[in-house]
Amino acid sequence: MAGLPVLPNHQFSEVTEDNHAGVVWIVALLCLVYSMLTFVTRGAIKWTLLGMDDWALVAAQVAAIAQYCALFVSLHKGLGRTLSLLSDLQRQEFSRAAYGNAILVLLSLCLSKCSLIFLIRRVFTRDMKNFWFICNLFLGIVAVWGLAAIITVTAGCSSSHYVPPTGPGMCPGYLTRWKFVVAFDVATEVIFVVLPIYLLWNLQMAFKLKLRVFLAFAFRIP
């Protein structure tokens, strides 16, 4: 209606046809809060029983916080907006932040997987040398995967043109690189769900207890 005052826009981040950064902000903040709550809860429960798995998780959480910071910088610089709305300088700035974010995501994932292996080794393999060897083998595989994944998604790519993966200076094979990394990531998660079953299979335990252990690790599948 004519004559009504135009109210100022106080939105932290708009969501329009040309700007989806607000959606990314919401998802990222929710994930960060959930991650921190889970981390603090675990720390409070296991405060007097800390082991290698917990220290690896601390390192993973530090990397995750740094990753979220890089993501927030990238969003502030223009991630989520239509490229036509951004200057060349803005594109380069958010691309550099996204480049750092990609490295930190993989580092955090690698450390969290190591934490899980340390936990499995701590719980199941104290008196089982063969299982201890299996856990150490997977620990080495995950460490190699973490380094290889970081090299895979960054080799030959310019940080200032990392995203979007098109146009001059593009990162060759961008999607293919990430498909390989994600495929191995999914494969290891499936293994980590199956491994406790293998370790528990011949133990003299009630089936209900075995099922509880399986369900505890099965939450990693989603």
| Torsion from C-alpha of 185, 187, 189, 191, nearest 10 degrees | -150
pLDDT for residue 21: 76
pLDDT for residue 49: 82
- Residue 75, classed as helix, strand or coil, is helix
Rounded CA gap, 24 and 77, in Å? 13
pLDDT mean values, one per 10 residues, the chain (222 residues):
52 70 85 91 85 90 93 82 74 84 93 89 70 86 93 85 63 84 89 77 70 70 60
pLDDT for residue 146: 92
Placement of tokens 């790519």 in the chain: 157
pTM for this entry: 0.81
Rounded CA gap, 204 and 210, in Å? 10
